[in-house]
Structure 1
Amino acid sequence: MLRQVSRALALASLLCATASATYHQQFQQWNTQKALSQPDYTRLELASFDIASFQPIGSLSTLTDQFMVLGHPAFPKYSVRIKQSNFCDGSVAAYTGYIDVEARHLFFYFFESRNAPDKDDVIFWTNGGPGGSSSMGLFMELGPCRVVNSTTVVFNEASWNSNANIFFIDQPVDVGFSYAEYGEYVSTTEEAAKDIAAFVAIFFEHFSSFRGRAFHMAGESYGGRYIPLFSSAIYDQNIELVKAGLTPVNLKSAIIGNGLTNRFTQITSYYDMQCTAASVEPITDISTCIRMKQAIPRCQKLMRTSCINAFDPIGCDEAIQVCRMELQDPYWTSGMNVYDISKKCEGSLEETHCYPITKFIQGYLSQPEIRQKLGVDPSIPLDKPLSSHNVGLAFSGTLDILRPSDLYVAALLERGVDVLIYAGTYDWICNWVGNERWTLDLDWSGKDEFVKQNLTEWKVDGKVAGVTRSANGFTFATVNGAGHMVPYDKPWESLEMVNRWLKNRQL
């Protein structure tokens, strides 16, 4: 969900300096070597196995309030701990557990649909960061309940599980309730994608009622990088599943809200958001806006040379630093909410992400009785922050944040996987202007048809909710008056949007 960048990320790196200076230096050197090499994006190869030896659990209803361990001979390094956890919704079954990948352990929540759990689609949701816990999406945005203070939750009528079964996951390790032993960590989206793809396959194999069910990968913010790669890993893994005689995951679509999918189109859009009436009246003084406008051609040239035409990690990082200084820093000093350009930041960005409710979420999840109900590993400190600075530092060290993910979107579209890109019009950090630009620039077979479509209004209860453009399975949409977290600001509009998408992919 919430993406800490620029000064926030710089501060995060200082707060993370808990290890020795020698370890930190070695860590940075190792990450730099990884950044200079090609990302390790390869399909997870399945182990050879006798298909008759696998005995699926069959139904979620067989689970109890004690952990059951699920495995699959095709994935010998992976297992899943899962249990019933009656909390949050109250009207549907809820489950929690861990995806165990040897020394890495990823925490997840799963809620059945309020409508028809045995028939409705399945949504997989992740927040962003990198390092943001999906408990924010669960307890603040689209989950079955919302936190109102540090001890209380209320029923969320506008939850996305109104017509879908839904996962929320804390990933990668060290995020939220996820953890690792022996110093294990993940520092690239390519690495994270393999773990998610394996988990999805194991889940669908064990619970036969979900096999072949329509599946949608969804996320926001840094999810703009996560979701294209996670979806691609699932699609490619399906090839191996079919070879092994297993049922492929029925990946229908990818859904990205206010995502960071192409940083290079996004960064120049900060001028539009601050100096034009793209969303609100200009908020930056004229002299600063003129300097920003003059910096755009130089910024684009630097990025084109070192980031786009050829990826030179050091040169690209330098280009981004120059662009950030000229185009982002004026906003950071304004005191405005980086996730909602229409209001001031409430509290400290580093402590509350400009939303005090995040402190309530952390307080709620720090209660020992809640943790026991969820099955949280006792090694997780009670005061562990929702956002992991360590993960932000690790991904920053590999320059994962600089690698565009739009080509993965194009590849998914070419293979019949639909894609929805939506954005709240008030978000600054991953704004609608930059998101629309990369969708229009995307090179794929349906580009000409998509580009020639005019933006048209979409409505909820007769009122204009935003504008949209769609062709050949690719949809771009705005949500008026919403910031970075669309389901938080516009819950009913976001629910209507996702319900229409699940039903027929048209808004």
Structure 2
Amino acid sequence: MKWFSAPTALGLVSVLSFSLSTGAQQTFFNAPGSYASYDEGLFTPLEDLSVLSETQFTTLSHPAFPAYSVRVKKSNFCDESVKAYTGYIDIQARHLFFYFFESRNNPEKDDVILWTNGGPGCSSSLGLFMEHGPCRVVDNNTTKFHPESWNSNANMFFIDQPIGVGFSYADYGETVSTTEEAAVDIASFVGIFFEHFRKFKGRAFHMAGESYGGRYIPVFASAVFDQNKRLEEGGVTPINLKSIMIGNGITDFYAMIESYWAMVCTPASLAPVLDIGTCVAMKQAIPRCKKWLKENCVDQFDAINCGASATFCDSALTGPVFTQSNKNPYDLSKSCSAEELNLNLCYPITMNISSYLDIPRVRSQLGVHPKVGNFKSCSNAVGIAFAQQLDEYRPTQHYVAALLERGVKVLIYVGTLDWICNHVGNQKWTEELEWSGHEAFVDEPLREWTVDGKKAGLTRSANGLTYLTIEGAGHMVPYDKPKEALKMVNRWLDGKDF
């Protein structure tokens, strides 16, 4: 989820300062050469998840990642039909929390998906307990089986990242404030996991996320892909990265500019929600916004002028939606006050999730570290740290193009009722993406895709890139349209056309 503590730079949480954590810089990943070959006798894989304890963590390490280790335990909860595990990725004094659920279908053969929510700063517990996890929170104390979970046919991770999000924590206040920093941690964790649990080696691996995941996932996947060469040179099995999946993402911020106006001032999805005078003022601001942002954030990156341009454009193009529309920015078909947005992101279930994850017995079962305070769906501090680095204003679409050129498939799916990372802007950037498959992609007409014989949305696909809409869904597609979302991901994993 892309979220706000207050309306600021085109959806950023605020703006400016940088504190580099040292742990992420001490791995072989950042070395210009390759991994040193390691002595096989120094490494014994754990191999089997079933040997893990339910009462205490088992610590995993690997000589290729000397600054990293993983604590993991059985945590059979949420879905009694499958094996579940939780733990921490330890990067010296920084600790990232994760959940892992085996597939309901065939865990010995099914693909592996890694999922992260966005923000920046929102916990992937939202994806787990609200969207497409094995169970959904019913009230403050209870969960129920979720039949449309994405682990129906895949083994699945949910990760609280970066440091300070969800159950993740730091020993001495260390922080991560850019996506590129966070990518080092994720790539190393993935390497350690597949080395230890060798039944997953060579298994198709997919990296997925929503909202700010449109920035996270292309960078994270690129880190995994680039790490593979160095892994191979050191005698470590590379990760079989097959695809990335981005739901209602912010990937190319510049291509999104005009869409903020289009979604609320034209019938792009629904009837206009702002008055004519406001829409005219927004329309008049668009040329200046595009000029300033292109000069200061795109053609060259000038932090001061980019920040100033973004602040102006935010006030002109996103401010009115919060101050005048009384609409849920994640679903324009619903009303939501500013107070509700700040309280629960316009979704009361997020408060139930927080209450459930603050129950002592639940925390004990998951192995949450005592240092972690009350659960928060989204961390304001993390959001501000990323905003201060203007992390959103980086050329993430180029990572997508580079992955496509290297044979990694890309699925961009969008709920049509979302405003914050909407279908108008996502369609625009996929059509403008510079890569070898550009002409073939734009030459494909948009066509209907169906679920159980009924129209589910529109799609186009060519040379590994697929763009797809889900009608009637907002920002969190699996929450609004769980059946359609599961059909979508299953077809994607199976390599079937939409």
TM range (shorter): over 0.9
CA deviation string 1:302-351 (max 9, x = no partner): 11111111111211111112211111111111211010011111662122
Counterpart in 1 of 2:243?
253
AA matched with 2:370: P
Counterpart in 1 of 2:180?
190
User: Which of 361, 368, 381 does residue 353 from structure 2 map onto?
Assistant: 361
Helix, strand or coil: the match of 1:400?
Answer: coil
Counterpart in 1 of 2:39?
50
- Asked whether the 8 Å contact 1:8–1:349 carries over to 2, the reply is no
Helix, strand or coil: the match of 1:119?
Answer: coil
TM-score by length of 2: 0.95
Matches of 1:12 and 1:253, distance apart in 2 = 27
User: Which of 265, 274, 293 does residue 275 from structure 1 map onto?
Assistant: 265
Matches of 2:28 and 2:258, distance apart in 1 = 32
Counterpart in 2 of 1:19?
none
AA matched with 1:64: S
2:154 matches 1:175: no
- Asked whether the 8 Å contact 2:12–2:387 carries over to 1, the reply is no
Relative distance call for 1:30 and 1:60 in structure 2 (3 A) is closer
Counterpart in 2 of 1:404?
395
- 1:34-49, aligned counterparts within 5 Å? 43-45=29-31, 46=35, 48-49=37-38
Matches of 2:411 and 2:137, distance apart in 1 = 28
Counterpart in 2 of 1:21?
none
- Asked whether the 8 Å contact 1:252–1:417 carries over to 2, the reply is yes
Helix, strand or coil: the match of 2:7?
Answer: helix
The alpha-carbon deviation at position 6 of structure 1 amounts to 4.6
The alpha-carbon deviation at position 401 of structure 1 amounts to 1.8
Helix, strand or coil: the match of 2:377?
Answer: coil
2:202 matches 1:203: no
Counterpart in 1 of 2:385?
394
Counterpart in 1 of 2:135?
145
Helix, strand or coil: the match of 2:137?
Answer: strand
- Asked whether the 8 Å contact 2:118–2:212 carries over to 1, the reply is yes
Relative distance call for 1:463 and 1:192 in structure 2 (3 A) is same
Counterpart in 2 of 1:456?
447
Helix, strand or coil: the match of 2:90?
Answer: strand
2:424 matches 1:438: no
Structure 1 gap segments, 5+ residues each? 15-26
Q: Tell which deviates more after alignment, 307-316 or 351-360.
A: 307-316
Matches of 1:28 and 1:437, distance apart in 2 = 29
- 1:78-477, aligned counterparts within 5 Å? 78-333=68-323, 334-345=325-336, 348-381=340-373, 383-477=374-468
Helix, strand or coil: the match of 1:213?
Answer: coil
The alpha-carbon deviation at position 41 of structure 1 amounts to 13
CA deviation string 1:74-108 (max 9, x = no partner): 11110000000010011000000000000000000
Helix, strand or coil: the match of 1:402?
Answer: coil
Helix, strand or coil: the match of 1:411?
Answer: helix
CA deviation string 1:194-238 (max 9, x = no partner): 000000000000011000000000000000000000000000000
Helix, strand or coil: the match of 1:421?
Answer: strand
The alpha-carbon deviation at position 277 of structure 1 amounts to 0.8
Runs of 4+ in 1 over 2 A off after TM superposition: 1-14, 27-31, 39-49
Relative distance call for 1:445 and 1:43 in structure 2 (3 A) is farther
Relative distance call for 1:30 and 1:139 in structure 2 (3 A) is closer
Q: Tell which deviates more after alignment, 450-459 or 321-330.
A: 321-330
- Asked whether the 8 Å contact 1:44–1:237 carries over to 2, the reply is no
Structure 2 gap segments, 5+ residues each? none
AA matched with 1:371: R
AA matched with 1:152: T
Matches of 2:476 and 2:26, distance apart in 1 = 31
The alpha-carbon deviation at position 505 of structure 1 amounts to 5.0
Relative distance call for 1:286 and 1:12 in structure 2 (3 A) is closer
- Asked whether the 8 Å contact 2:96–2:160 carries over to 1, the reply is yes
Matches of 2:370 and 2:459, distance apart in 1 = 46
- Asked whether the 8 Å contact 1:196–1:230 carries over to 2, the reply is yes
AA matched with 1:353: L
Percent sequence identity is 59
Helix, strand or coil: the match of 2:392?
Answer: helix
AA matched with 2:46: I
Matches of 1:462 and 1:28, distance apart in 2 = 50
- 1:8-27, aligned counterparts within 5 Å? none
The alpha-carbon deviation at position 48 of structure 1 amounts to 4.8
Relative distance call for 1:245 and 1:47 in structure 2 (3 A) is closer
Q: Tell which deviates more after alignment, 494-503 or 393-402.
A: 393-402
Matches of 1:448 and 1:296, distance apart in 2 = 27
- Asked whether the 8 Å contact 1:2–1:353 carries over to 2, the reply is no
Matches of 1:11 and 1:446, distance apart in 2 = 30
Relative distance call for 1:488 and 1:13 in structure 2 (3 A) is closer
Q: How many residues align?
A: 488
Matches of 1:238 and 1:329, distance apart in 2 = 43
Counterpart in 2 of 1:492?
483
Helix, strand or coil: the match of 1:477?
Answer: strand
Q: Tell which deviates more after alignment, 324-333 or 150-159.
A: 324-333
Matches of 2:406 and 2:398, distance apart in 1 = 13
Matches of 1:57 and 1:124, distance apart in 2 = 21
User: Which of 483, 496, 501 does residue 492 from structure 2 map onto?
Assistant: 501
Matches of 1:165 and 1:93, distance apart in 2 = 10
CA RMSD of aligned residues (A): 2.1
Helix, strand or coil: the match of 2:30?
Answer: coil
CA deviation string 1:234-264 (max 9, x = no partner): 0000001110111100000000000010111
Counterpart in 2 of 1:7?
7
AA matched with 2:218: P
- 1:59-70, aligned counterparts within 5 Å? 59-65=48-54, 66-70=56-60
- Asked whether the 8 Å contact 1:47–1:76 carries over to 2, the reply is no
